[in-house]
Amino acid sequence: MPIYDYRCGDCGKTYDVFHKVREVEEDIVCPSCSSKKHVRLISAASVSTKGSSSPFHDDAPPCGDGSCCGGACSMN
């Protein structure tokens, strides 16, 4: 299932939507204010590697929140 990021046109909250095969954008509502006004955002692709052969994760310490690789991935 693809994941898309949206920003609400009314309250400005950003949220993710896991799209089902037949889901259409008109069916999407903001989880904060239930508005149907939204803009789909461009998001970075996610890449997964098996093992520790990735040059980005071998020696780099985790970010402060533990979600990344100390900036080595250029996502910070």
pLDDT by residue (tens digit) across 6-24? Answer: 999 999 999 998 877 777 7
Edge to edge, the sheet with strand 38-41 lists 14-18, 3-8, 38-41
Global pTM reads: 0.52
For the stretch 25-61, pLDDT in tens is 788 899 999 999 999 898 766 666 665 555 555 555 5
Task: Give the H/E segment covering residue 4.
Answer: strand 3-8
